Structure 1
């Protein structure tokens, strides 16, 4: 890991997230990982944290109006689409082009803030309550090499997103 200041020019998405964090007076700037962390497991391994501490951004496509719906979820659990659709209505899959167009980020680097949608408005964002199992969580910072830490309460403050129950219950 290296800090944000002692590197060459960073990609536009990383800079957008850095600016959004600074604007919201978040106390920690994003970190640039030397290895890409496109998956929750890669991010957990690079950071030396548990898989559940990775706040992954999962994007869906709302069928009624084609709105992007994002759930910020714990990396060790799967989103339960039936639970989520209680808050959104029917959902469909979002491919890589749709995610990029609606968030401004490529899959593997989708941040919970700093959106720059090419089409429509940014996503409707929800935070899953299972992230509150941890004191510190890590989210993508606009690029597969970028991450930033926060508490679950800070994530709520940064995004203004509601906290819901959207995860599958693991089998005993």
Structure 2
């Protein structure tokens, strides 16, 4: 009698969201080689508003690191993010450091299933949508879920961190 093989998730992000027991949808698209505006590309190819698709950014203050999730159509307000974390200030983490700490490549960094857990802030605008899309852990792969589920799975919190 043959044993049934367990199907492994394609990425750590998908494994985490599957294990969380929440409703989610996987959204895939063909990433264009050479494209570097990853979030806007995802929004366009998935037919979604840039306000509903979120990018994952890593910031740091001295030796502390955190993850900020903001709409792809906007920018991160570093001062607001630092304040929300109780830091005096913050800077964008070096992309190589972000890749090493998360286990994902730039353009595919997901707030879900990171190699090292980080404090996570999700821009409060995520609450305006029934669902939001975040990277699924590689370029061309997004996960659609509720903002509340995203915050719960990442042990994060909502904050007003998007720059106007």
TM category (shorter chain) comes to 0.7 to 0.9
Structure with bigger strand share is 2
Stretch of structure 1 that moved more, 49-58 or 80-89: 80-89
Paired residue for 1:18, among 4, 14, 18? 14
The 2-side partners of 1:59 and 1:68 are apart by 7
Paired residue for 2:79, among 59, 62, 82? 82
Paired residue for 2:143, among 123, 145, 148? 148
The 2-side partners of 1:165 and 1:104 are apart by 27
Residue matched to 2:55:
56
Q: CA deviation at 1:29?
A: 4.8
**Structure 2 gaps, min length 5:** 1-7
The 1-side partners of 2:92 and 2:155 are apart by 24
**Maintained 8 Å contact 2:11/2:138:** no
Paired residue for 1:159, among 133, 154, 158? 154
3-state secondary structure, aligned to 2:74: coil
Alignment map for 1:47-126 (pairs within 5 Å): 47-63=46-62, 66-88=63-85, 89=87, 90-117=89-116, 122-126=117-121
Is 2:27 aligned against 1:31?
yes
The 1-side partners of 2:78 and 2:95 are apart by 19
Render the CA deviation track for 1:10-52: whole Å, top value 9, x for unaligned. 9x9x421121111101323533322258522100011001011
The 1-side partners of 2:91 and 2:75 are apart by 16
**Maintained 8 Å contact 2:104/2:110:** yes
**Structure 1 gaps, min length 5:** 1-9
Q: State how many pairs are aligned.
A: 153
